[in-house]
Amino acid sequence: MADHEQEVARAVDIDIDGTRDQWQLANECPLALVYHQRNYAVMLASPQDLTDFAYGFSISERVVSDASEIKSVRAVPNVLGIDLHMEIDEKRLERLDLTQRRRHLVGASGCGLCGLDNADQFLAKLPKVAAVTPAKDAMDKAMAAFSSHQQLNQQTHSVHGAAWVSLSGDIIAVREDVGRHNAVDKLLGARARAALAGEAFPQGFLMVSSRCSFEIVEKAARHNVGALLSISAPTALALDKAAEAGLQLYAGAPGGIARF
């Protein structure tokens, strides 16, 4: 599927101390996730890399156990935004109760947990991951190069980024979104799709341009990510959940990169 063409940034006139200029504003729109004609959630997201988002979100939410269970993805524009229609494996669908699991509220761009229908999803134990220990030089290299790979943020100065980084510190792929959790889903969805196509990303780690909150750790664990590097510190809950999953957690600190 080709992602539905939507404006990801819009130029507006601004006034800076009496001087007229232009500023690019990031767009966000309601993105409805629909499985076999059953509404599951509505997220506010940047309207790009939608197929990646569909895969990443579906695995993060445990709607599917792996990318092979997604059979098709189709983006359909509506008056307010985009409907993202997905067909999944029939046997998997039979084992799910999407009515029970679905989100009844809009997931805001700043929150990856909004609208969860019951607390069990929030408290669910995370799976153990294959831990990875990146070298300090590799993390330093990736941090220094990160901003130059965030093309939408260079235009708008208002979106988050998630990157997959090889153990040598090379940035393999980047995805961006107004929501940090959406950027992570897009990036991990791209990784899952690459593996499905026989073009697996090299061994490495996830890097995010934001603080490390619980939902970022949860998504990483659901995708068997062994290490996570964030620009700023994790929350206490994020640290506890990372320990539960065996995920190595790192963050930028005044003196360099901290390991938690």
Instruction: List residues with catalytic annotation.
Output: 111
Q: What 3-state DSSP class applies to 89? A: coil
**How far is it, in rounded angstroms, from Cα 163 to Cα 183?**
9
Q: Quick check: 180 and 160 in contact, CB under 8 A?
A: yes
C-alpha 81: how far from its chain's center?
19
Element containing residue 16 per DSSP (H, E): strand 9-16
**How far is it, in rounded angstroms, from Cα 29 to Cα 11?**
16
- The position carrying tokens 């190069």 is 145
Selection from 223, 146, 252, 187 nearest residue 48 by Cα: 187
Residues sharing a CB contact under 8 Å with residue 121, sequence separation 6 or more, in sequence order = 101
- The position carrying tokens 């156990």 is 65
Q: What strand order describes the sheet that includes 70-77?
A: 70-77, 82-88, 29-35, 38-45, 106-107
Selection from 206, 211, 203, 214 nearest residue 189 by Cα: 206
**How far is it, in rounded angstroms, from Cα 203 to Cα 132?**
9
Pairing, β 106-107 against β 82-88: unpaired
